[in-house]
Amino acid sequence: MNNRYLHPNILTLGLTGIAAAFQLAMAASPAPNYEWSTVVNNGDDTPCTTTTPPCRKFNSYNQPSVNANGLVVFRARSKGGQGGEPEHGVYMRDMASSDPLVKILDRNTQVPQPNNLNTEFVEPPSFPRIDIGSNTIATRGNHQPVWEYTLPDGTDTRVGTTGIYTNPFGDLITGASKLGPVLDFSFFEVPEAPGTPFDVFPGAPAVTDANTIVFKGNYTVNGVAKTGVYYRTLRDEPILLEELVTAEQTPAGGDLPVVLIANNTSTLIPGTETVFGSTAPPSAANGMAVFAGFDNEENPTLGGIYLAPLTGPQPPLKTLVSIGSEVPGESRNNTFNRLGEGVSFDGRFVAFWGAWGTETKSLVLQCPTEGNRDRIAFCNEQHPSGFEVQVPVHQGIFVHDTKTKATFPVAKSPNDFDDFMFWNFSGRAQGVGEGEEGDEDGELARWRSSAFTAVSGAVKRGLVDATFHVAFKARKGNVVQQAYVNPVDGIYLRQGPGQSGIVSLVQTGMNGTSLDPEAVFDDDEDPATPPVPLPVTEMGIERDGFRNGHLVINASMGTEESGWAGIYLGDLD
């Protein structure tokens, strides 16, 4: 999963590339009557108080999420300076009203109970998500240990350096945490391994039905790494401490335990006698979860995308799409041999990436030059000459209708686009501890590929018919000497099944003022010479970014002289 911040000063195109991209972007079909509203941009101050000055301007953003009512939640940063550290936090804004930005958490926010050390957050390491039908959000948070207690041998220890945090009852509470070995908090333990804490919660947790979080969790038993997909239902109740019967901790989510959906220890891939080898972070809506799972993450021969009702432990898994199933619109001998992990789910429709065939093209990925210094150094140490990958020539975006059981093609390569896979080097740099800024998901940093798509059922009419809209990110460009030359990246829209052609929403090189009227550069402040619009250089979308016709994206605009960035919402009628 690609969780990079978009920085206005990180340009993916040189000036020559921008010009070429601009020409291609102008030739694409624009979206008719599609207007964007600014959720937040570099002109906005981070929420702060008189007790935490100075207020700073936002300058970079992750992919946002949105609910059916237009409430947007996002992760963002500011620059430092003026005697202070940069702000890192999770924020929300209700786009259906004129309400200001609201802070959910930042580096000055105390981690909710259990927390007897007054620990504050260090970093939200992934993009936050929001329930499609309520205002409940779910986000990961890294921090120093939150709980000190005495072991049976009389020694004191501190635990709890990461967790999942949510707000189903108003205040922020702890939904999942590394506190499983603490007797008072055994409801946080790995359900299939009593007394075992989760190590990390990779990816971004989902939330459904206002008070149920759904997530991937990794843990270790006797030195062997394990993984699975889980859910936990929260109640508006305190946590009672067993050592002091009268003591309680509030606000909290009660003591219902974590529940297993599927793992790589005991859960069979449906229709086989093979246990899952890997599971991916899930999506959730309407009391159901959807996730991808395979026998082998790198080279799958079994597995697919599965739906699970969130009722009881190890609920029955329903296969939606599997490795080896026919690719819609292709000849019968073409079957899926790769399926993406980042599935989007709105309660009926599931959007996903898939690939087929044996033809590939070779790319050499170069280490990033901007971002976390520890991670950049680790990348260069591991891959000083670049990292070669084989990308499938035949790949595409698809939508599965869980009601009719039909799967529809949305866009494919090489006919519609050249690529739907985007690469980044992410994770924890070697030598960087948990809770530190470099610890994105707790797993050791490596090159990862992601495809980005989001689906919305029949706009403004719910999920009553088979009409859907799907937005996705794709690339056009030629590969020369194992690298794309002046590619055009964009976010595109298609209505289905078979309702319309592909529409361009945002592309690299297009006029940035079509997204944000403030995306301009004025180098002389002379009223006689108007400001120059900045070209779009980068954009992002995530799986919960398209609900009930509300589409939210993040984007950067800039040249070598100036940059701008923000989060933007568009509404389909």
Q: Vertex 104, ends 102 and 108: CA angle to 5°? A: 110
Q: pLDDT tens across 116-141, in order?
A: 999 999 999 989 999 999 999 999 99
pLDDT, residue 457, reads 87
Report if residue 247 sits inside a domain: no
Mean pLDDT in residue range 150-178: 96
- pLDDT category of residue 16 using cuts at 50, 70 and 90: very low
Q: Is the pLDDT of residue 415 over 50?
A: yes
pLDDT, residue 237, reads 96
Q: What pTM does this model have?
A: 0.92
pLDDT, residue 18, reads 37
Would you call 400 exposed, middle or buried from its count of C-beta atoms within 10 A (0-12, 13-18, 19+)?
Answer: buried
Q: Vertex 203, ends 197 and 209: CA angle to 5°? A: 85
- What is the four-CA torsion angle of 35, 36, 37, 40, rounded to 10 degrees? -170
Higher pLDDT, 429 or 352: 352
Report if residue 396 sits inside a domain: yes
Report if residue 162 sits inside a domain: no
Q: Tell me which H or E stretch contains 15.
A: helix 15-27
Segments of 83-235 assigned E as strands: 88-94, 102-106, 121-123, 129-130, 137-143, 147-150, 156-159, 162-166, 173-177, 206-208, 212-221, 224-233
DSSP 513: G
Mean pLDDT in residue range 474-503: 93
pLDDT, residue 443, reads 72
Q: Is the pLDDT of residue 518 over 80?
A: yes
Number of domains in the chain: 1
Rounded to a whole number of angstroms, the CA Rg of the chain reads 23
Report if residue 382 sits inside a domain: yes
Mean pLDDT in residue range 207-212: 98
Mean pLDDT in residue range 524-552: 91
pLDDT, residue 22, reads 36
Report if residue 403 sits inside a domain: yes
Higher pLDDT, 562 or 336: 336
- Cα–Cα distance for residue pair 68/73, rounded to 1 Å: 12
Neighbours of 443 (CB within 10 A): 17
Which residue range(s) make up the domain with 475? 336-413+436-507
Position of tokens 């992919």?
63
Selection from 7, 140, 190, 77 nearest residue 443 by Cα: 140
pLDDT, residue 21, reads 39
pLDDT, residue 33, reads 53
Segments of 310-432 assigned E as strands: 318-322, 336-339, 344-345, 349-356, 360-365, 387-392, 395-401, 407-412, 422-426
Lowest-confidence region among 22-26, 77-81, 297-301, 417-421: 22-26
**N-to-C CA span, the chain:** 30
Report if residue 408 sits inside a domain: yes
Report if residue 282 sits inside a domain: no
Percent of the chain topping pLDDT 90: 75
Report if residue 450 sits inside a domain: yes
